[in-house]
Amino acid sequence: AMDTDLSSQDRKDLDKFIKFFALKTVQVIVQARLGEKICTRSSSSPTGSDWFNLAIKDIPEVTHEAKKALAGQLPAVGRSMCVEISLKTSEGDSMELEIWCLEMNEKCDKEIKVSYTVYNRLSLLLKSLLAITRVTPAYRLSRKQGHEYVILYRIYFGEVQLSGLGEGFQTVRVGTVGTPVGTITLSCAYRINLAFMSTRQFERTPPIMGIIIDHFVDRPYPSSSPMHPCNYRAGEDNGAVYPSVEDSQEVCTTSFSTSPPSQCVFTVTKAHFQTPPPVVTDTLKVPVMGLAFSHQLSSSRLSYQPAALGVGSADMGYPVLLAGGLNAAHPHQLIGPGKEGGVPPVPSQPAHGTQADQERMCTPLDGVHYSAATPSSSEDTETVSNSSEGKCGSPHDLLETIFIRKVGAFVNKPINQVTMANLDIPFAMFAPKNVELEDNDPMVNPPESPETESPLQGSLHSEGSSGSSTGNTHDDFVMIDFKPAFSKDDILPMDLGTFYREFQNPPQLSSLSIDIGAQSMAEDLDSLPEKLAVHEKNVKEFDAFVETLQ
Amino acid sequence: PLSTRCCAPSSAAPAMNCRAEVLEVSVEGRQVEEAMLAVLHTVLLHRSTGKFHYKKEGTYSIGTVGTQDVDCDFIDFAYVRVSSEELDRALRKAVGEFKDALRGSGSDGMGQISLEFYQKKKSRWPFSDECIPWELWTIKVNVVNLANEQERQICREKVGEKLCEKIINIVEVMNRHEYLPKMPTQSEVDNVFDTSLKDVQPYLYKISYQITDSLGTSVTTTMRRLIKDTLAL
């Protein structure tokens, strides 16, 4: 076939297709990580606005961020659009989970029809993306986000950076579409190991903005202790730098609700503290997500490995962080860059807070709140890291941040501030405390059978058991009480329930047991000739009998 | 009961252009339905378009396909399906029959369910139309029996992981961009697509299943047609 150049109309169409494909790709990925089930309606009459004939909602903030990242350009060779999905815990640790890459390579398909084939194949590719976004490990993580961690996204354009995914990351290809100007490729590289970030790395990317996850219930501590929270945004224009205890500290939290547009909520709140954020009162063991993660993400044990700094490029993305950072050497204490190390200990007092106007952190019901990175956030990284390294003294072995536990909607009593357990490792909450967890999990280790066994157990497990009456340790059902209906019987001196219990484990039939069976088999065989002889003798009787039947 | 009016049954050997994909899963009895639905819906997601609306001069516009997430109850798994209650009902019906057949007597828990996409080629009376398959998906199922809750919990997760792999496999096949029927003219559209649903338009398909009985022989139980096959010839 002739090698025809792309007509200008085709070229324009193709560029438009690629642009909207990129935008829709971002929407699908981000929406798949909101933690909610997505549902859109089919419509038989074309509305003209549904790109690629698929009903994919457009979350305005996401489109805005995508357009910002693309800056009027299209994916091209060497210029890929990447959507980075990461996880941020309430302690402030973050970890990259996935990088979705929309790339273009040089392999051109000059003969393909743009307005028809390319369009339909792009539509097919989006469907594949819908399917694949549900099967990578981050999907299940994102469905459970809200309390201990949140899922964040970041869009960048340029070279793909996979170094933040840890070792041994896996890649899944979503699909490719050939076009006259190159082949579009969509793939995902995802982390399979929950590797810890080194504390050194954590120092370099300390908390930048604070979102207090919960409303303060009480004031944190009395004014006598000079606590300093970790710096929020040094160098920020409004000058919120290293407030001392009594200073009012301005924490600007911008949170978006990225639930479907009909519930879109954009709020900006400022919280004024009279005192720095609260410190620990109690150490509370936070329920570990362990089981789900250890199966999902890795077959290897969690291990401590220094990882390369994942967030290398310009934007910090959308950090969602906690107030405060602590000096390792002195747990339960706060340090700030203004201090040289030791800080007076914190008296344990119930924490108080005045953040009634703080926006509620997201729950899976609401969708994820992403706090926007302010334009100065990238500079902040520098300033803060410098300051914290310079002034925080010796490297931290421990890092602990204050976590304000979210008070659930239906909780009667407020939960005081707590710290996240396991101070010495970030992501400790993900560490499978194997023995403890599994031992405590009734699903994994069913409780021992009670002495008096439930009636149903016996009958249900008769196929599995050897028939012995003491062998019943299966606990698929726990019988609370057995009140059989209509069970009173005048004839028998017992009711149905008692009957059940008494006779639920009858001994096995002797003919079914192997030993006896083997014996009787031998006996049977021996006795066969004898039996045959008897039958032969009576053959006339048998014949007569058969006659009567006919 | 087999409808005899419509297409002649597909011949045993697939047509030349028919590509065949086989997937295998081992599941617990109560997971059969969800696992089958997950695979079938994923395939049909890729093989359904919006409703065509033909305009003059042979052009047509295409309706919009919505999608929704489905969480499985017995498997740690979620999948995306086309938002069409009719289609979901049709698949559930077929999968329900398959599940019942698997459970029924004479079955040792092994069977397979097939999703075949075909095109109709009209023949002149009195010959019935030919059905020419162009893609065949077969899911082989092995039902396992588990003894206790601990095993069931592990099975939930394992089957979930397996299904993730299957979805990736399906998407790989879809991405090959191999043969697809040509987009039809208005008069031909019913030979290529199932136009009976009101909100989406899958390619013509049929679902059938086989149960392996305990003797190891294959017993074709039913050919079920899920298209509106009461065409007047």
Q: Is A173 exposed, middle or buried (0-12, 13-18, 19+ CB in 10 A)?
A: middle
A-chain residues within 8 Å CB-CB of B64?
A: 42-43, 46-47, 50, 53-55
Dist CA B142 CA B111 (whole Å): 7
A-chain residues within 8 Å CB-CB of B67?
A: 38-40, 54-55, 127, 130
Q: Do B46 and A127 touch (CB under 8 A)?
A: yes
Top residue of B65, B86, B87, B196 to mutate, by most chain A CBs within 10 Å, is B65
Q: Which helix (H) or strand (E) element contains residue A85?
A: strand A80-89
The answer to whether residue A113 neighbours chain B at the CB level (below 8 Å) is no
The answer to whether residue A444 neighbours chain B at the CB level (below 8 Å) is yes
The answer to whether residue B196 neighbours chain A at the CB level (below 8 Å) is no
Give the number of beta-carbon pairs within 8 Å between A and B: 137
Q: Which CATH class is domain A8-190?
A: alpha beta
Burial annotation B212-226 (CB, 10 A radius, 16+ → b, else e): bbeeeeeeebbebbb
Q: What are the tokens at A98? A: 């996935």
Q: Do A40 and B177 touch (CB under 8 A)?
A: no
Is residue B21 within 8 Å of residue B136, measured between CB atoms? yes
Q: Domain residues of chain B, as ranges?
A: 17-219
Top residue of A39, A119, A135 to mutate, by most chain B CBs within 10 Å, is A135
Closest Cα in chain A to B168: A132
Dist CA A335 CA B40 (whole Å): 57
Q: Domain residues of chain A, as ranges?
A: 8-190
By three-state DSSP, how is residue B97 classified?
helix
ipTM of the complex: 0.88
A-chain residues within 8 Å CB-CB of B200?
A: 42, 44
Q: Do B65 and A42 touch (CB under 8 A)?
A: yes
Tell me the nearest-neighbour CA distance from A455 into chain B, angstroms. Answer: 17
The answer to whether residue A45 neighbours chain B at the CB level (below 8 Å) is yes
Please report, in tens digits, the pLDDT of each residue of chain A (550 residues total): 444 577 888 899 999 999 999 999 999 999 999 999 999 999 988 766 789 999 999 999 999 999 999 999 999 988 999 999 999 998 888 899 999 999 999 999 888 888 889 999 999 999 999 999 999 999 999 999 888 889 999 999 999 999 888 888 999 999 999 999 999 999 999 998 754 433 333 333 433 333 333 333 333 333 333 333 332 222 333 333 333 333 333 323 222 322 333 222 222 233 333 444 433 333 333 333 333 333 333 333 333 333 333 333 333 333 333 333 333 333 333 233 333 444 343 343 333 333 333 333 333 333 333 333 333 333 333 333 333 333 333 333 333 333 334 444 444 444 343 333 334 555 555 554 444 444 444 444 444 444 443 444 333 333 333 334 444 444 455 555 555 565 555 565 666 677 777 777 777 776 666 555 556 677 777 888 888 888 888 888 888 988 888 8
Burial annotation B76-97 (CB, 10 A radius, 16+ → b, else e): bbbbbbbbbeebbebbeebbeb
Q: What are the tokens at B23? A: 């997937």
